[in-house]
Every structure is written in structure tokens, then in C-alpha cells.
Amino acid sequence: MTRKQKRLSVIAGGLAFLGAATGLTFYALGQKASYFYMPADLTTASLQPGQRIRLGGLVEKGTLQRGQGTTVAFSVTDKQKDVKVTYTGILPDLFREGQGVITEGSFGPDGVFVADSVLAKHDENYMPKEVADSLKAKGVWEESKSD
């Protein structure tokens, strides 16, 4: 094999490796390109029973109920539809009604979303980007403008 043939075979092998890595990445992502579901998106989503998802939106005002111990119940809304959520654990300090939230978990047999993780907004000017973008697209949420 000449030097030119060796160089071409190394380049071809590198391109084949990159192509295979790219193909595997896209295959792994599949239908999971959506980072989370908004409540209105769940009507068209084809979820398997017990499938873990992320649910994002705003904590609906007036729905926060504290149960026994660290169990809480609340609703996540996108102003079009709302989903009842239960969570057992310590909520983030910044969790409150009317704020952006992303919960992780799955739907129980009764249709209530059972969360095992709750992510709340960072500070008063922050909402998770995915939640803010989705709410803006639906015309529900606007960024505050400073004068």
C-alpha cells in the first residue's frame, strides 16, 4: 500500500466512524426530541403505561395541597389544560403557585401524574427555557419588560 492509499483509508475509516456515531445518536434520540410535555400536548402523545416523562408548565394557583408528611398535590397547567400531580419529597425552596416547574415521573392508574422529581424556577426572573418557550408559543406567558 502506498502512502496515498494509507492516508485515504485512514480518512475513509474516520468518516465511517463519524457517520456511525451520528447515526447511533439520531437513533437513540428517536421520538424523544421533546424535552418535556406540556399538559395540552398529552392529548396527542402516545404514552405507554408507566412510561417516564417530563411534564412542564405553571403550578396552577389554588391547587397546592399538603398531605401527610412530605406528600403534596398540585396541578400543572399551560392555561389550556391542567394535569393533577402528586409528589412525595421535599419541594425546592423556590417552588410556589404561579411559577414555572418541570416534574419527572409517570402517570398512575388513576390518571394522576406521580412525580419523583420536581424542578422549580431559579429566581424571580427565570423560568425553565423550554417551559417559557412553550408558553410563549401558546400566547400564555410574556417576559417582563424593565423600564
Asked if 102 and 55 count as a contact pair (C-beta separation under 8 A), the reply is: yes
Task: Give 33-64 pLDDT, tens digit per residue.
Answer: 557 888 888 888 778 778 888 898 889 999 99
- Identify the sign of the CA torsion 29, 34, 35, 39: negative
Considering the entire predicted model, what is its pTM?
Answer: 0.63
Does 27 count as an annotated binding residue?
A: no
Does 35 count as an annotated binding residue?
A: no
What's the chain's average pLDDT?
A: 83
Q: Which pLDDT band, with edges at 50, 70 and 90, does 20 fall under?
A: very high
Look at strands 100-107 and 53-59 and give their pairing.
antiparallel
Task: Give 68-105 pLDDT, tens digit per residue.
Answer: 888 999 999 988 898 999 999 998 888 888 888 999 99
Q: What is the DSSP string of the chain?
A: --HHHHHHHHHHHHHHHHHHHHHHHHHHHTTTT-S-B-GGGGGT--PPTT--EEEEEEEPTT--EE-STTEEEEEEE-SS-EEEEEEESPPPTT--TTSEEEEEEEE-TTS-EEEEEEEE-SSTT---HHHHHHHHHTT---PPPP-
**Gap between the Cα atoms of 55 and 52, Å rounded:** 10
pLDDT of residue 44: 82
